[in-house]
Structure 1
Amino acid sequence: MAGKKREEEREKAFYENGSKLHEKLIATCNGRPIPIRSYSCEELQRATNNFHSSRIFHTDGFKHEWYNGFFEGRMISIKEYLRHRGDDIFTDIAVSAKMSTHNNVLKLIGCYLETQIPISVYESAANGSLFDRLKVTSDQREPLSWQSRLKIAREIAHAISYLHTAFSRPIVHRDIKSGNVFLDQNDVAKLTDFSLSISIPEGETHVEADSLIGTYGFICPHYYTTWYITEKVDVYSFGSFLLELLTGQRWRELLRTTNNFYDGDPAIPVWLKGSVDSFDVEDFESARNSFAINEVVDPAILVGEEGSVVWQQLQAVLRLALICRKNNPEIRPDMVDVTKELRKIERFIL
């Protein structure tokens, strides 16, 4: 009887989740839902050794656990949702499916719907999350070089640009951060986790949020005060993401460990003054004399990186990060221009 009841519960979950996902896919993909492979419980259990803890390669607080798996001769990544809010899981799956053709988005290859909370299956993220990679210690893999970080910044900027411009209704990610960027076996950056994503209606400049969600330090001040969501919300978050790449620190760590403050606010480092609207970013060159660039960047970046070109790149990326984090969204560039600027910096055309 217990087996029959369990089978009935799985069948009920499959139809309920399938219905919700189909509806979200139609809404997200303009009435042309993308076919998604359906995995069975037994297939995923075999792929992950029954979801053994040794297969976990990344956790995102109490929200997700990511497993390495092996299925049909290839490595895969399996995302288990530990909790969810509303239909965010179905938004994540639908937008991931829509974006899977982009080389810098983690490709969705299927999902398992026969449980109360669905499970998603993706291409392999062999080198884990960028967040974990930035935190490597001396007895682990080599730290990411500056050129690798610059390449990752450009790749993720390109993925966000595509999200904003490739569709009739621009999609805003709303949670750009190192924990939502994975690396494949060649350290190609892959954007993931579209659970907070939202579309801007055709012909509109913004959409009004029904709740304020995101990650501390990455939430746009204008969004915080107005609840208006535009593409510039992601630009602000991307500025914080650039600072993660530069400093190698999480945002909370960055604020806690920085001793130079300004304007009497103990929460803001002096070198972040450039992201405040009252500060003219054109004065950045003179303002940076109040600190040394090596006080800002991750010390691991500086190992073996010598020469004026690297210093100019570091300064240019810091300057770009501060512009992206301007309080006034009108002052921030769009992601297409950010991507172009990173290409110029990467090619040493400064």
Structure 2
Amino acid sequence: MDCLMNKSDKKKKKNSEANQRLRSFQENGKILLQDLIQLCNGKSNPIRTFSANEIIQATNNFSENNHMIRFEFIYRGTLENRPVLIKRATWNLYTSDTLAKICRDITVSSMVSGHNNFLKLLGCCLEFEYPVLVCEYAERLPYSNTPNLGMLIKMAREIAVAVSYLHTAFPRTMVHMDIQPSNIFLDSNGTAKLSGFCLSVLIPEGETFVKVDAERVEGVLDYLEYKYVTSGVVTEKTDVFSFGVLLQNLLIGKHRVVDRCEGDESLFEYEHGVLNLRVSDRVCKFVEEGRVSEILDPQVFESMGGGDERRVEAVLMLSLRCTGHRGDVPKMIEAGPALSHA
């Protein structure tokens, strides 16, 4: 009798799980389809779907051994005998618009996957509470083993090409909104891949900006353009600013600039009683004072050869143009060629 009860309970549990997966597939699929229609102008943009069982098997049920990055839901996996990245979510705390953000990540990823400088989307799974992305395998941009100066400039140039593509390849300008190291990956050939489109927004056709709710400004503070933070206005320059800070952090690492500015109150600002630390302001000060060598990443500094000082200066000057500290702010399509000459 107990054996029969156990079988009955297992069957009910299995049926309940199957029903829940079906509901998730339908609900998630509805939101994803709406986003695809909105961003792709109704054009067909097929995305392969994987089952929950395939994802669970690929990651060994999201085993800690396959968990790539602490505090983030990114896992190594194997699907159809090929290594893949499984992106389960990008937030530790779910919010009311989490589903919409994940669907936006899937939608934009599907639109740019044919480009070599974006992390390729292989498909998604809609059967979990929140959709899961399946992407080509690549490694997160390294910090512990910093590449040499030439490699850093190459990576930056490739990311500039990717962002330029977002800004120019579609009828409506796509603004990434979250350009920062955690959204950059490197494949086995050292090619930089941009990812993480959860916050991406479209500028209406024929317009140069779009306004979002200033109360819901999101992203990593140091990478956020001042105008966006204060007014919620999004333009191409929102990405250009973030890219400028990325250039700075590739060469110096935030911690080095912070360590060397602790006693300089002129570089610390308070907004609404909260200390606001701006890396780009500090980098500008060091460049102006000719103290660049003090803030360079040691591994970058040690790898430098003849003429590299001028290359570093050229990259930093471009970064300060991007953040509005020097001269006119360039467009992203100008930043890539500028790096080619660095």
* TM-score relative to the length of structure 2: 0.87
| Amino acid in structure 1 at the alignment position of 2:16 | K
CA RMSD of aligned residues (A): 2.1
Partner of 2:301: 302
Unaligned runs of 5+ in 1: 137-141, 276-286, 346-350
**Aligned-partner SS, 1:303:** helix
Say if 2:118 and 2:194, in contact at 8 Å, map to a contact too: yes
Partner of 1:256: 258
Say if 1:261 and 1:270, in contact at 8 Å, map to a contact too: no
Partner of 1:335: 332
Partner of 2:9: none
The reply on whether 1:272 has 2:282 as its aligned counterpart is yes
In structure 2, relative to structure 1, the CA distance for the partners of 1:269 and 1:234 (3 Å cut) is closer
Give the distance between the partners of 1:156 and 1:261, measured in 2 at CA: 34
Say if 1:177 and 1:241, in contact at 8 Å, map to a contact too: yes
Tell me the alpha carbon deviations over residues 49-101 of structure 1, each in whole angstroms, 9 at most, x when there is no partner.
Answer: 22111112224x4xx41111111121111101155441111111000100111
Partner of 1:108: 121
Unaligned runs of 5+ in 2: 1-11, 269-276
The reply on whether 1:313 has 2:316 as its aligned counterpart is no
| Amino acid in structure 2 at the alignment position of 1:272 | R
The structure with more radius of gyration: 2
Aligned residues: 316
The reply on whether 1:222 has 2:222 as its aligned counterpart is no
Residue correspondence of structure 1 range 190-209 to structure 2 within 5 A: 190-209=193-212
Q: Which moved more, 1:291-300 or 1:220-229?
A: 291-300
Q: Which moved more, 1:47-56 or 1:333-342?
A: 47-56
Give the distance between the partners of 1:269 and 1:163, measured in 2 at CA: 26
Say if 1:17 and 1:118, in contact at 8 Å, map to a contact too: yes
Give the distance between the partners of 2:279 and 2:134, measured in 1 at CA: 40
Partner of 2:173: 170
Q: What is the CA distance between 1:272 and its match in structure 2? A: 3.3
Give the distance between the partners of 2:82 and 2:212, measured in 1 at CA: 40
Say if 1:173 and 1:198, in contact at 8 Å, map to a contact too: yes
Give the distance between the partners of 2:134 and 2:297, measured in 1 at CA: 33
Give the distance between the partners of 1:157 and 1:90, measured in 2 at CA: 24
Give the distance between the partners of 1:313 and 1:295, measured in 2 at CA: 16
Partner of 1:21: 32
Say if 1:107 and 1:122, in contact at 8 Å, map to a contact too: yes
Higher fraction of helix = 2
- Percent same amino acid at aligned positions? 36
The reply on whether 1:67 has 2:75 as its aligned counterpart is yes
| Amino acid in structure 2 at the alignment position of 1:235 | V
Give the distance between the partners of 2:258 and 2:266, measured in 1 at CA: 15
Partner of 1:292: 291
Partner of 2:247: 242
| Amino acid in structure 1 at the alignment position of 2:36 | L
Residue correspondence of structure 1 range 4-83 to structure 2 within 5 A: 4-59=15-70, 61=71, 64-81=72-89, 82-83=92-93
